[in-house]
A and B are shown apart, each in its own frame.
Chain A
Amino acid sequence: MTQLRSRRLLAGLLAGAVQFGILGFAFADTTILNVSYDPTRELYKEYNAAFAAKWKADTGETVTIQTSHGGSGKQARAVIDGLDADVVTLALESDINAIAEKTRKIAPDWRSRLPNNSSPYTSTIVFLIRKGNPKAIHDWGDLTQEGLQVITPNPKTSGGARWNYLAAWAWANHEYGGDEAKIKQYIGALYSHVPVLDTGARGSTVTFAERGLGDVLLAWENEAYLALDEFGADQFDIVIPPQSILAEPPVAVVDGNVDAKGTRKVAQAYLTYLYSEEGQRIAARHHYRPSKPDLVPAEELQKLPELKLVTIDDPIFGGWAKAQPYHFGDGGIFDQIYKPAQ
C-alpha cells in the first residue's frame, strides 16, 4: 500500500516536472486543446482569438487555445491513442463516436448536448476545377470520363474524403435507381481515376493546387473557396453539382480529459460560443454554412448556393452507425472497390 502510494507520488512528481517543463513559460494560463480536422485551420485561428478575448472580458482569465489539425479519422485515432484533447471538432459523427466507444471519455449522449446535433456549422462537397472547365465537368457522372484524374483524400483517414465518397454514392443511387451493383461499379470507376489518396483534405488541396495534379478536386465547400483565395481566382473555378451531401461536422467536449484537467467550464463555453452571433459570423466568413443563419446579417452570409443535399440519415445510408462499418470498415465496400489508379 505504502509502496503503491509512494510510486504514485513519484509518478505525480515526474509528470508534474514534465508538465512544468513544457508549460513553465505559461503556467498561469488555462490552456485547452482543440483537436480538429484539416480545413478548419483558418476558421479556428480566427475563432480562438475571438473566444479568448470574450473569455477574458467575461471572467478576467487568460485562456490559451491550442489546435491540432489533420485528417479527421487520423485525429480521432490520436485522441484514442492518448492525445489530451479538451474538445474535438471533427469532420463527422462517427469519428467522435469512435472516441466515445474506445476510450469512454465522451458521454454517449454527446450529440444531444448542443443544438443541431452538435454541429455549429454545416458544409457540403463541391468540385474545384481548372480555370475554364477544360474537361467540362458539371455533375458526378462526368468524373468517370476517360483520362480524367480526380483528387480526393483517403476515406480511411480523412472525414472530408468520406463525405466525398458518400456524396458520390448518393448521386449514383439516384442515377441507377438504387441498383447496388451499378452503384459499386460507378464508385469503383470513380476511384480508379484517383492517382493519389492524401491523408487529409489539406493534403489533397496541395496536391491539386500546388503540385498541379488532377483535373478535379472533390473538396469541402469552404476549402474550395479558400483555394480560390489562396491561389487566385484566375486559376480555378468552383462547380456546384446539382446534388451533393449535407456534411455535418460535429463538436464535443472530451469529458474524461476536461475533468482530469479541470477545464470543463472553459471547454464548454468554447463550444457554446460557436453558436453565438460572433461564432456564427466567423463560420460564415470562412464559407461554412452557419447552423443559425438568422444570427448572421444577410450581407455577411456568403453566397452559398442552394442545391439538393442528401443527409447521412437518409435511408440509403441509415446514419453513421450503419454507414461507417458498411462502407469504410475493414473489408467494407471501400476496401473491396479501391484499386489505385496506375
Chain B
Amino acid sequence: MNTAPADAGWRFRVPSVIPGFGLTLGFSLAYLTLIILIPLSGLVWRSAALGWTDFWAIAMDRRTVKALEISFGTAIIAAAVNVVFGTIVAWVLVRYRFPGRRIIDAMVDLPFALPTAVAGIALTSLYAPRGWIGSLLEPLGIKVAYSPLGIVVALIFIGLPFVVRTVQPIIEEIDKEVEEAAATLGASRFQTITRVLFPGLAPAIVTGFALAFARGVGEYGSVIFIAGNLPYVSEIAPLLIVIRLEEYDYAAATAIATIMLALSFVMLLVINLIQAWSRKRYG
C-alpha cells in the first residue's frame, strides 16, 4: 500500500518519515470492512435481491409511508424546537455568568450519557396522565404520552446536545469587536443580533439542526416507551422494522431499513456539504 511509486505524477499518499502507515491504515480498513461495510452491504444486497417490484410495493405500502412520515415529521419538529432553545441555552452558557453555570453546561450532555431506555421510561412516567407533568397537562386536554407529541418530547430530549454543542463554540469565537462596531454605528441590540450575529451562527445552527434531525429519525429506545405505537398515528419507522422482523417478514424489514439507510446517507452528505460551505465562507 505504501509502495506507491515516488516519482509518479499521481500519488496515493504524500511521503513521510513516520512509520506505521501500512499497518494502521490496513488494520483500520480491515476492521471498518468487517464491522461496518460487510454488514451494511449485506443489507443492501438482501434488499436488491427483493427485486424492484417487491421493493416498491413495500416502500409504497401505506403503513410504511406513514411510519416514515411520522419519523421524519416528529424529528423535524423536535429539531426545530431544539434549534430555538438550544441556541438560547448555548448563548446563555457562553455570554452570561450565573451560579451553577458549569453544572448546567455539564447537564446538557446528559442525553449523550443516559441510556435511551432509561430516558424512555422516565419521560413516559413523567408525561403519562398520572405523571408529574402529565397530570398538570391533562385538565388542559393535552395528551403527551402515547401520542405523537410524546415522540416529539423524546426527540427533543435526544437532540438537544447536538444543537448546543454545535452552536456553543461558534458563539465563543464571535469577536466582540464586531458587536461593538455595530453598536457604535447605531445598530440596536436587536439589529446587531439579527443582522450581524445571526448570519455568522446560521451554518452552525443548520448543522446542529441536521445532526439532531438525523439522530431523531433513527431513534428507537426512548420513543417506543412514550409513543403508544399506534399504526398510522404514532408508529415510527424503526419500530416498524422491528415489527416486520418479528413477523418474520425479513423482506419488508430489509426494504424499510434500506430506505432509512439511503436517507441517512443523504443527511450525512448534506451535513458535510453545509460544513464545507461554512468553512469556505467563514473560514
Asked if the two chains touch in their complex, CB atoms less than 8 Å apart, one says: yes
> Is the Cβ of B246 less than 8 Å from the Cβ of A196?
no
> Is the Cβ of A340 less than 8 Å from the Cβ of B232?
yes
Q: Report B-chain residues with C-beta under 8 Å of the C-beta of A210.
A: 128
> Is the Cβ of A342 less than 8 Å from the Cβ of B146?
no
Residue from A71, A156, A213 within 8 A of B146 (CB atoms): A213
> Is the Cβ of B231 less than 8 Å from the Cβ of A197?
yes
Interface membership of A232, Cβ < 8 A: no
> Is the Cβ of B63 less than 8 Å from the Cβ of A340?
yes
Interface membership of A198, Cβ < 8 A: yes
> Is the Cβ of B129 less than 8 Å from the Cβ of A212?
yes
Most buried by A among B128, B228, B243, B246: B246
Report the Cα distance A204→B128, complex, angstroms: 17
Interface membership of B229, Cβ < 8 A: yes
> Is the Cβ of A157 less than 8 Å from the Cβ of B247?
yes
> Is the Cβ of B228 less than 8 Å from the Cβ of A198?
no
Report the Cα distance A154→B145, complex, angstroms: 22
B121-160 interface with A by 8 A CB criterion: 128-129, 145-146
Interface membership of B248, Cβ < 8 A: yes
**Chain A min CB distance to B256 (Å):** 16
* Chain B, interface SS category: loop
> Is the Cβ of A77 less than 8 Å from the Cβ of B231?
no
In the complex, what residue of chain B is closest to A98 when comparing beta carbons?
Answer: B248
Interface residues on A, range: 10 to 19
Q: Report A-chain residues with C-beta under 8 Å of the C-beta of B248.
A: 73, 77, 156
In the complex, what residue of chain A is closest to B63 when comparing beta carbons?
Answer: A340
Q: Report B-chain residues with C-beta under 8 Å of the C-beta of A195.
A: 230-231, 233
Q: Report B-chain residues with C-beta under 8 Å of the C-beta of A212.
A: 129, 146
**Chain B min CB distance to A149 (Å):** 10
> Is the Cβ of A199 less than 8 Å from the Cβ of B246?
yes
Residue from B63, B129, B145, B243 within 8 A of A199 (CB atoms): B243
Q: Report B-chain residues with C-beta under 8 Å of the C-beta of A197.
A: 231
A111-130 interface with B by 8 A CB criterion: none
> Is the Cβ of A77 less than 8 Å from the Cβ of B228?
no
Interface membership of A41, Cβ < 8 A: no
> Is the Cβ of A213 less than 8 Å from the Cβ of B228?
yes
Report the Cα distance A229→B165, complex, angstroms: 48
B207-262 interface with A by 8 A CB criterion: 228-233, 243, 246-248
Binary flags per residue of B38-53, CB closer than 8 Å to A gives 1, else 0: 0000000000000000
> Is the Cβ of A156 less than 8 Å from the Cβ of B247?
yes
In the complex, what residue of chain A is closest to B66 when comparing beta carbons?
Answer: A342
> Is the Cβ of A211 less than 8 Å from the Cβ of B247?
no
Interface membership of A74, Cβ < 8 A: yes
**Chain A min CB distance to B103 (Å):** 34
> Is the Cβ of A340 less than 8 Å from the Cβ of B231?
yes
Residue from B232, B243, B246 within 8 A of A77 (CB atoms): B246
In the complex, what residue of chain A is closest to B129 when comparing beta carbons?
Answer: A212
> Is the Cβ of B247 less than 8 Å from the Cβ of A196?
no
> Is the Cβ of A154 less than 8 Å from the Cβ of B229?
no
Seed contacts A196-B229, A211-B228; 8 additional CB < 8 Å A-B pairs: A73-B247, A154-B247, A157-B247, A199-B246, A207-B228, A210-B128, A212-B129, A340-B63
List, sorted by A's number, 29 A–B pairs whose CB atoms are closer than 8 Å: A73-B246, A73-B248, A77-B246, A77-B248, A154-B243, A154-B247, A156-B246, A156-B248, A157-B243, A157-B247, A195-B230, A195-B231, A195-B233, A196-B229, A196-B231, A198-B229, A199-B243, A207-B228, A210-B128, A211-B145, A211-B228, A212-B129, A212-B146, A213-B146, A213-B228, A340-B63, A340-B232, A342-B232, A342-B233
* CB-based closest 3 A-B pairs: A156-B247, A74-B246, A340-B231
Binding site for B on A (CB under 8 A): 71, 73-74, 77, 154, 156-157, 195-199, 207, 210-213, 340, 342
